[in-house]
Amino acid sequence: MAMSGNLPPRPSGPACRAERAHAVVAEPRLGAGPEAVAVDPAGRRAYVACSRDNAVVAVDLDRRVPVWRADVGREPIPVVLDLPSRRLFTADARSDTVTVLDADTAARVAQIPVGKDAYPAGLGHDPERRRIFCGNTAAGTITAIDADRLAVIGTIPAELGAGSIAVDGRRGRGYCANFMSASLTVFDTESLRPLERIAVGEGPCKVVVNPVADQLYVAGSLHGTVQRLSLATGRPLDEVRVERAPVGMCVAPDGSRFYVCNRGAGTVSVIDAVGGTETHRITVGNGPGDCQIDAASGRLLVSNAGSGTLTMVDRPWLPGAERPPTHAAVGRKLPEFALPDARTGEVRTTREWAEKRYLINFFASW
């Protein structure tokens, strides 16, 4: 029976176009230097380590507001949520500790030393084997912690710059990014034995596992690339170019794509995990440090170290509206400013270089 006359009109107009694009739905302010994010989709909470506030902030994912703040050690960079125990773990870089919090009450449960002058800057989690792994950047080691007893159970040798750690739970293998050694340390998460060294590009800053695609991703912050490796063989597959200083990543629950935080550009690159191509970019806050997906809503949560905010993006798998081809500052008059000469101390002004070409270098300590 023909029913073409009764079909509803096809959606069109601005509202329809908006539904085919990602959208920033909220950007709550958290504090100074938010870095890593952990998500509890069922409990409707996100937990963010604010490195410059020495605190963890819990955010209600539905009301999109902070609900509590808890003090931890100095400069917490990563945060891990262990769902079976309902505990949060932070690596406190300048306190040489791992702080443990109750995820529901914010109460401090323990503070575990990982070694003098270790500068712990990365965490890995093996929930099946009940282990937390801490990458000690200055010491070049990995501290293994029993997630239930909250006790150190071993130390694994890595290399200088040991930090971000990803775990392949199926094979019982951990991968530690050694930033200053341009390498990955592969270790057995059960026996705590180092297995092999994989050479990667300079400045590996973050590693994540895609268990669905059976791939490992390594963000190279110095050259703006992400290297894809096979988890089965450890061999490189290809290299994806992204924007400036990629430092954080996460994988979609279905494994079809992964998201890369470009700290130097204020964007997130969305990468097709099958083809290894960038499909689009999402504009977020300043200095995005890390990201996670809220599996219940599908939203992307991005911690912005430079803005002190958490960007919440709806439908992140979709491209957005077209952006202007040039930066908003192009064509605008340069504001006048004065700075002391680094060599002589004499105050120099922009007027001295009027109508001339010159380079301004802004140095970032991170």
Domain assignment of residue 196, yes or no: yes
The pTM for the full model equals 0.84
Domain assignment of residue 14, yes or no: no
Confidence band for 320, pLDDT divided at 50, 70 and 90: confident
Using one digit for the tens of pLDDT, what is the confidence trace for 65-94? Answer: 999 999 999 999 999 999 999 999 999 999
Domain assignment of residue 212, yes or no: yes
Q: Count the domains in the chain.
A: 1
For residue 160, the domain's CATH number is: 2.130.10.10
> Whose CA is closest to 155, among 143, 140, 146, 167?
143
Specify the higher pLDDT residue, 8 or 364.
Answer: 364
- CA dihedral for 283, 304, 81, 42, sign (positive or negative): negative
Confidence band for 366, pLDDT divided at 50, 70 and 90: very low
Confidence band for 10, pLDDT divided at 50, 70 and 90: very low
Domain assignment of residue 182, yes or no: yes
Domain assignment of residue 221, yes or no: yes
Residue 263: count of CB within 10 angstroms of its CB: 25
Measure the CA–CA gap between 168 and 174, rounded to whole angstroms.
Answer: 6
Domain residue limits at 39: 23-314
Domain assignment of residue 335, yes or no: no
At residue 323, the pLDDT reads 55
Residue 287: is its pLDDT beyond 80? yes
> Whose CA is closest to 265, among 221, 217, 216?
221
Our CA angle for 107, 109, 114, nearest 5°, is: 130
Domain assignment of residue 251, yes or no: yes
At residue 350, the pLDDT reads 78
- What backbone torsions phi and psi does residue 314 show, to the nearest 5 degrees? -85, 140
> Whose CA is closest to 274, among 208, 360, 213?
213
> Whose CA is closest to 252, among 207, 219, 299, 214?
299
Domain assignment of residue 250, yes or no: yes
